[in-house]
Structure 1
Amino acid sequence: MAQKNRLQYIILGLLNIESQTGYDLTKSFDSDIGEFWSANHSQIYPLLKKMEEDNLISHHDIQVGTKLVKKSYDISDAGKKLFDEWLQEPSDLDNNHDEFILKLYFINDKKSELLKNMVAEQLNSREEKLSALKTQMSDKFPNATAKKRQYGHFCVLQHAIEREAGYIDWLKQI
């Protein structure tokens, strides 16, 4: 079975919320979407071109300042249909690519100094990430109205917080 182009669906979903430039889409992967999916501009821009050729999106030009003109992308009816169909499909289970887990697999000695250093470094990183996620939650969802308006986003952020808290608990057991 062919691999789904999930990036295409992420872009369609973002454009289903609001019209965005390629730059705006790229920035989404540095913040919200970056919690569970990564992509860079070298993937996004060629895909935007292909999606436009496939009539899934269109663009309109927006004037920025006196000289700069940017393309702002919008989802088409065909794009909305494809996005809605994708949302209704069963989700594939996918393995996470966690380099720490990969390295941990190869540690043979429970008393290894390397293990202690690896765990301490990972614990520090995970605690920083958990703090950042909690800050993001309080900034983006300060009240019940915000939670209702973007309920899915709230759920994903809640999951990320619980994931990091669970990871920290597991690291402390090691």
Structure 2
Amino acid sequence: MTKAFEHEIGEFWQAQHSQIYPMLKRLETAGDITHEDTVSGEKLAKKQYSLTPTGHDKLVAWVSEPSPELTATKDEFILKLYFIKTSDDPRLQPMLQEQAALHRAQLAHLQERQQTVFPDQTAIDQAYGHYLILDHAIGRERYYVEWLEKYLS
């Protein structure tokens, strides 16, 4: 579960351990999921979670519901930019350079993930929504890099 949030889901939704495990407990208590204890390696006990039929029905219903609200994203860099008053502020270029490097690295990471996870059309067809999300994230990062480079001296 944590790996999914680090690699795939984490590209668009953040969740901490402190959020994930209480939610799993609530879902299990509600009868939406069950778990089976498994052993990985010699001693590492893990819980393998599965949707129940009720949980599957709820998931299908939730995915089918409209999502009519735009949610604001938290971007500390953008917030800091708000307080830069002039284009010659000595803090601006280092801020832009730092962000450009970070977003170039993120773009490269996303492009690598796309090649790894979706090497061919069959893989795309089997997880099309995931492919769309990754494609969106690549476009977002590509735009962010272009926008930053526009203002770099």
TM-score (norm 2): 0.92
Q: 2:17 aligns with which of 31, 41, 44?
A: 41
- The amino acid across from 1:125 in the alignment is L
- Of 110, 119, 123 in structure 1, the residue corresponding to residue 96 of structure 2 is 119
For residues 147 and 138 of structure 1, the distance between their equivalents in structure 2, rounded to whole angstroms, comes to: 11
Structure 1: give runs of 5+ residues left out of the alignment: 1-24
AA at the equivalent of 1:63 = V
Whether 2:127 is the aligned partner of 1:150: answer: yes
In the alignment, the residues of structure 1 paired with residue 102 and residue 43 of structure 2 have an alpha-carbon distance, to the nearest angstrom, of 43
Q: Give the letter aligned to residue 49 of structure 2.
A: Y
**Mapping 1:84-123, distance limit 5 Å:** 84-91=60-67, 92-123=69-100
1:79 Cα deviation (Å)? 0.9
Offset of residue 47 of structure 1: 1.2
Query: What is the identity percentage for the equivalent residue pairs of Structure 1 and Structure 2?
Result: 43
- Structure 2 vs 1, CA of residues 66 and 137 (structure 1 numbering), >3 Å: closer, same or farther? closer
Counterpart position of 1:30 = 6
Structure 2 segments unaligned to the other structure (5+ residues): none
Alignment CA distance shift 1:63-1:141 (3 Å): same
Counterpart residue identity of residue 79, structure 1:
G
- Distance in 2 (CA, whole Å) between partners of 1:136 and 1:26 is 17
- Residue of structure 2 in register with 1:58 after alignment: 34
2:39 matches 1:71: no
In 2, distance between residues paired with 1:65 and 1:158?
35
**Cα displacement string for residues 98-120 of structure 1 (whole angstroms, at most 9, x for unaligned residues):** 11111001100111110111111
SS in 2 for 1:30: helix
Give the deviation of 1:68 after TM superposition: 4.1
Distance (whole Å) between structure 2 residues aligned to residue 130 and residue 66 of structure 1: 38
Shift of 1:65: 4.3
User: Distance between the aligned counterparts of 1:88 and 1:167, measured in 2?
Assistant: 31
Mapped partners of 2:113, 2:40: distance in 1: 29
Q: Distance in 2 between matches of 1:109 and 1:43?
A: 41
| Matched length | 150
